[in-house]
Structure 1
Amino acid sequence: MDLDPKRLSFLLAVARHGSILAAADFLHLTPSAVSQQVSRLEREEGVDLLDRGPRGVSLTPAGRILVEVAENIERELTEARSRLSESQDTLTGTVVIGAFQTVISGLLAPILPELDAELPGISIVIAEGTTERMPQLLRSGEANLIIVDRDLAPTPPAYTAEVPLLDEPWRLVAPTASTADPSITEIGKLPWLGASRRAAAAPAVERAIDALGITPVTTHRYDDYQSALSLVRAGQGVTLLPALALKDGVPEGVDVIDMAGLGSRHLTIRHRATRREPGGPTRAVLDSLLRLTREYELVE
């Protein structure tokens, strides 16, 4: 029968602690359980490993040989764990990040080359979707990480964990030269584009209007930010856009007005949190993504 390394650990504990009773206390087992494992090892190998006497136990020559083997195995395992933890290059696999359009264009796409360079063994895949769709991707296992707007995403399920990623300011965008005095009073006189209930900007627009204390006339309805920018450029009104939506530049005919009271969009990363998750590749991507987001100039 092959030598069982697990049984060697019981013999090693007896050798190190001086008795079966002390070894059992260290291993959080009964003395009988430890004694049975050592006895079984003796039967399997056909040798006596312990001299059992009224004053305790001591190792036989065969016992000392197997204790040395056990110490070598322990040392090899410790070194292997250390080498695995020190190098992310050993991590391999695919990690899917679910995100919506502005996060992909304003954040993920710019830092993706650095992520790939830091984690060469991991294939990082970006999956676009809406904030409402993201939790389904995580639940089904189609995504390992999702980036959501905390104000819009459903309450995280018990099997998930959430990590803050970025607070990006909302910006007021207006047709060029629509007002020479960007005061609250003048802004309140301008027409505001209506963000539909499906638009991510809808809650932010409502909060900003309340915070500014204005009652503007609303016109048109938009769902996505590119449509909003086109309408602003056409002189149809003003609205709010998150800073990431303007990361690629502001179109001609559109002004960005800095004002207090517009608030921020809170982006978070959500992942499954179970006994086995997040796995090594997912954790490595999460840690790198958090660090690169802090270092990258995302909001100008």
Structure 2
Amino acid sequence: MDLSAHRLALLLAVHRAGGIVAAAQAQHLTPSAVSQQIKLLEKEAGTRLLDRTPRGAVLTDAGRLLSESAERIELELVAARRSLAEMDPDAPSGHVHVGTIATVIRALLVPLLVRAEQDLPGLTITVEETEGASALTRLRNGELDLLLLERDATAPVRPARGTADVPVLDESWLVVSPPGQAAPGALGDLVRPAWIDLAPGTAGADALERLSRQLGTSLSRRHIAYDYDVVLAMVSAGLGWALLPELAVLSATLPDGVSATRLPGLGTRQLIARHRASRRDPSPAVRALVDLVHAEAAALELG
């Protein structure tokens, strides 16, 4: 019996994701490609590995056994890559502690962590959900090595003394409107609705304030939320419209009936990577991770 390690890894991905479609998304493949590879693995194993039910694919006993073997192989490969990296004096290594907001973690860093195990096996990366002035303080005092920050692209930005910023991604702001209401066709359609504002000082709050100035009127802001998922729940309930960055919409499941509309003139949100800047900083490990963040951001299908 000759089993393909690549197909075993796909079986493990199906097990972890809970189905073929979700596994395909995580692996950047089509569902049909994943399904075909699993069928070939079943031929190699000589037994059925998935039960295909109306609710999705479920591993059989044999499938679970092979997925456990695939997990052990994965751990051995990670250990081997790290050992090889330690032998290479030029390979970046060490620990990088990254702080950022929830949408960036979901849409950018979760897939990046999987890729980093392949491309930067010498790095140990810790991701922490952070925001606000305390995160900047922790960067300066060395508790964090890298921050991924958001800002409305028109807002002035001044890196704190001893730090430097690297642009990562520009993405569109989108208008999110409730079920049963016509999606806007122009900026003038944004004057009358009630709006859900975001926490003061955030990119979303800055963008809505800028939009209000563009329209030459004070927008009605009935509610304030601190999390994009909460904003979507409010919009779904008909409590107001919202301005959300494309990455937040991409990384979420829009509630039934909720529309996300791109309009000329809404502007962009910018993600930036901020690190310490000195004779020793950024370290080779931080520079390598910033490069990987750039590559992951460039691979996103935005716009």
Q: What TM-score results when the alignment is normalised by the length of structure 1?
A: 0.64
Cα separation, 1, equivalents of 2:240 and 2:140? 40
What amino acid is aligned across from residue 147 of structure 1 in structure 2? Answer: L
Q: CA deviation at 1:220?
A: 2.0
> What does 1:155-170 align with in structure 2 at a 5 Å threshold?
155-170=158-173
Distance 1:167 1:133, change over 3 A: farther
Q: What residue number does 2:95 align with?
A: 94
Distance 1:278 1:186, change over 3 A: closer
Q: Is the 8 A contact 1:244 1:298 kept in 2?
A: no
Identity of aligned residues (%): 35
Distance 1:233 1:209, change over 3 A: same
What amino acid is aligned across from residue 129 of structure 1 in structure 2? Answer: T
Q: What residue number does 1:117 align with?
A: 118
Cα separation, 2, equivalents of 1:158 and 1:210? 31
User: Any idea what SS the aligned residue of 1:227 has?
Assistant: helix
Q: CA deviation at 1:199?
A: 4.6
Matched, 1:251 2:255: yes
Q: Is the 8 A contact 1:138 1:271 kept in 2?
A: yes
Q: What residue number does 2:265 align with?
A: 261
Cα separation, 2, equivalents of 1:160 and 1:293? 22
Matched, 1:218 2:218: no
Cα separation, 2, equivalents of 1:276 and 1:199? 31
Deviation larger for 279-288 or 92-101: 279-288
Cα separation, 2, equivalents of 1:196 and 1:223? 5
> What does 1:164-179 align with in structure 2 at a 5 Å threshold?
164-179=167-182
Matched, 1:188 2:191: yes
Q: CA deviation at 1:250?
A: 1.7
Cα separation, 2, equivalents of 1:282 and 1:198? 27
What amino acid is aligned across from residue 285 of structure 1 in structure 2? Answer: L
User: Any idea what SS the aligned residue of 2:302 has?
Assistant: coil
Distance 1:125 1:237, change over 3 A: same
Q: Is the 8 A contact 1:247 1:298 kept in 2?
A: no
Equivalent of 2:282 in 278, 282, 293: 278
Q: CA deviation at 1:160?
A: 1.6
Cα separation, 2, equivalents of 1:117 and 1:89? 16
Q: Is the 8 A contact 1:171 1:240 kept in 2?
A: yes
Q: Is the 8 A contact 1:146 1:269 kept in 2?
A: yes
Count of residue correspondences: 215
Cα separation, 1, equivalents of 2:278 and 2:202? 33
Q: Root-mean-square deviation (CA), in Å?
A: 2.6
Cα separation, 1, equivalents of 2:136 and 2:183? 44
Q: CA deviation at 1:280?
A: 2.0
Cα separation, 1, equivalents of 2:126 and 2:243? 30
Cα separation, 1, equivalents of 2:148 and 2:89? 23
Matched, 1:287 2:291: yes
Distance 1:285 1:179, change over 3 A: same
User: Any idea what SS the aligned residue of 2:260 has?
Assistant: strand
The superposition leaves residues 204-259 of structure 1 with CA deviations (integer Å, 9 ceiling, x where unpaired) of 01111222345443322222212211110001111101111112332213101121
What amino acid is aligned across from residue 143 of structure 1 in structure 2? Answer: L
Distance 1:286 1:221, change over 3 A: closer
The superposition leaves residues 117-138 of structure 1 with CA deviations (integer Å, 9 ceiling, x where unpaired) of 1001111111110143321121
Cα separation, 1, equivalents of 2:121 and 2:184? 52
What amino acid is aligned across from residue 210 of structure 2 in structure 1? Answer: R
The superposition leaves residues 92-151 of structure 1 with CA deviations (integer Å, 9 ceiling, x where unpaired) of 211111111111112111222112210011111111101433211211211111111245
What amino acid is aligned across from residue 130 of structure 2 in structure 1? Answer: G
Cα separation, 2, equivalents of 1:199 and 1:247? 19
User: Any idea what SS the aligned residue of 1:201 has?
Assistant: helix
Q: What residue number does 1:141 align with?
A: 142
